[in-house]
Structure 1
Amino acid sequence: MDILWQYQFRIILLGDSTVGKSSLLKRFTDGVYSDVADPTVGVDFYARSLEIEPGVKIKLQLWDTAGQERFRSITTSYYRNSVGGLLVFDLTSRKAFEHVREWHREVAEHVKPHHMVFILIGHKSDLARERQVPREEAEKLAAALGVRYVETSAKNNSNVDRAFETLTRDIYQLMKAGDIVTRDGWDGVKSGFNAKILYPPEPEAQESKCQC
């Protein structure tokens, strides 16, 4: 039986091939890591629920996209139905880091007019000796894109949960503020059968009882 959830967020992972998107997802959803992984063909799906605050459980539908150019026409069709995106690069690859802006720009062109929330992920932080992208440079890019930055390692299980939880909380807060809303024909955010009302009605004033 499925765990009850109040909202479902569709999240997409973006970035060059071999930056470790699949490893991040498998660590986050299954708690496992493998040094050997087959390249993603098209799109793979994962899911996990998070209790973002007491009584509010959010189901994440996670889309792992192929980074190769030949699959780009397949993955672009998934952009429109996503509310959040992880822009992932490999900390040991200058090339993957330099492609982040291209990924961000490409998605932004497809998701209008709805809002999409991003987070920048510097992956493979365990490979410190092979690092090619300084933290300060990555943080500068994140600031330029207006997004948060987190460094992760699927191998060491470092900051993996934190990355997904941070993005989920940011989306949820924008929902509460009314900047992101559910609507017909868009699957980025869906309400569950047991949806908690974000703004519960004020309790009715109790009638005063005179103890005369």
Structure 2
Amino acid sequence: MPRDDYDNVYKIILLGDATVGKSHLLSQYIRGTLPKQAKATIGVEFATRTVPLASGGTVKAQIWDTAGQERYRSITSAHYRRAVGALLVYDVTNRQSFYNCQKWLDELRLAAEPDIVVVLVGNKIDLTIQDPSVRQVHRDQASLFANEWNLHLFEASAVSGHNVKDVFEFLLQEIHNLKSRADASHGHDEATINAADSVRVDPMLSARRRGGNDGVLGCLNQGACSNAGCLVQ
């Protein structure tokens, strides 16, 4: 595909325990189907998709599916670098996979970009519709964790396709919004510097402006998020 067909390239990673359904989510989003044969991801797998944004423009998503097994941890963590977005996935029928999200998030923040956008995804929601008793992670519990770390929260099903497209494209739009704000802020700072002969700029104020949003992840509008799929309200 010609380079002119998209405006930016965004690297996204999927992380979480083995068997939570990361590869199924990716396959459902890229191909619209599940893999013909389920198999564990070894190291890292990679896919791309060009996506038109709701706000206008088109981006190319480079999506990296990482292995959840401990023995591949050193391989997968190396691929966190330069990622601007992440889907942190757990299985709503597996409590331990949710508890381990804290470990995955800590590791991500050590290796990834400081302003990486993270979306928490509870997968396999289709199983709880068939039998509500199999749910081990309730929305309220996941919402508390998401609120604590300023993450968006979605529940999805790779099997039925519920929320899969919304999750990926919401993440891409959030990344695009963050990058657009950063570019606008950078342009404002350059304009301020160019006008320094006529306007005195407080250096401490300028430093605070540049660093003000560092480390703010995911949902920046808690309590007033306009996205219907986001469960952090």
Give TM-score scaled by structure 2 length: 0.73
Give the secondary structure class of the aligned counterpart of 2:42.
coil
Deviations 1:46-71 (A, max 9, x none): 11111014651111000000000000
- Over 3 Å counting, the alpha-carbon distance change for 1:139 and 1:35 in structure 2 is farther
Amino acid paired to 1:33: L
Amino acid paired to 2:120: L
CA contact (8 A) 1:27 1:157 kept: yes
Structure with bigger helix share is 2
Amino acid paired to 1:172: H
Q: Which residue does the alignment assign to 2:77? A: 76
Deviations 1:22-60 (A, max 9, x none): 000000000002474110000000111110146511110
Higher relative contact order (CA 8 A, sep 6+): 1
Return the alpha-carbon distance in structure 1 between the equivalents of residues 31 and 75 of structure 2.
26
Amino acid paired to 2:101: V
Number of residue equivalences: 180
Give unmatched runs, 5+ long, in structure 2.
186-233
Q: Which residue does the alignment assign to 2:120? A: 120
Q: Which residue does the alignment assign to 2:165? A: 161
CA contact (8 A) 1:90 1:122 kept: yes
State the Cα RMSD in Å.
1.8
Deviations 1:98-121 (A, max 9, x none): 000110001101125x42110000
Q: Which residue does the alignment assign to 2:174? A: 170
Return the alpha-carbon distance in structure 2 between the equivalents of residues 6 and 36 of structure 1.
35
Q: Which residue does the alignment assign to 1:44? A: 45
Q: Which residue does the alignment assign to 2:153? A: 149
CA contact (8 A) 1:142 1:148 kept: yes
Amino acid paired to 1:158: H
CA contact (8 A) 1:174 1:180 kept: no
Stretches of 4+ moved more than 6 A in 1? none
Amino acid paired to 2:144: K
Return the alpha-carbon distance in structure 1 between the equivalents of residues 184 and 110 of structure 2.
18
Structure with bigger strand share is 1
Q: Which residue does the alignment assign to 1:12? A: 13
Amino acid paired to 1:46: A
Give the secondary structure class of the aligned counterpart of 1:168.
helix
Give the secondary structure class of the aligned counterpart of 2:176.
helix
Alpha-carbon deviation of 1:2? 4.6
CA contact (8 A) 1:115 1:180 kept: no
Query: Any residues of structure 2 matched to 1:11-30 within 5 Å, and which?
Result: 11-30=12-31
Return the alpha-carbon distance in structure 2 between the equivalents of residues 180 and 89 of structure 1.
35
Amino acid paired to 1:96: S
Give unmatched runs, 5+ long, in structure 1.
182-212
Q: Which residue does the alignment assign to 2:105? A: 104
Give the secondary structure class of the aligned counterpart of 1:79.
coil
Return the alpha-carbon distance in structure 2 between the equivalents of residues 143 and 7 of structure 1.
29
Percent of residue pairs identical: 40
Alpha-carbon deviation of 1:157? 0.6
CA contact (8 A) 2:54 2:173 kept: no
Alpha-carbon deviation of 1:160? 0.1
Alpha-carbon deviation of 1:170? 0.8
Give TM-score scaled by structure 1 length: 0.80
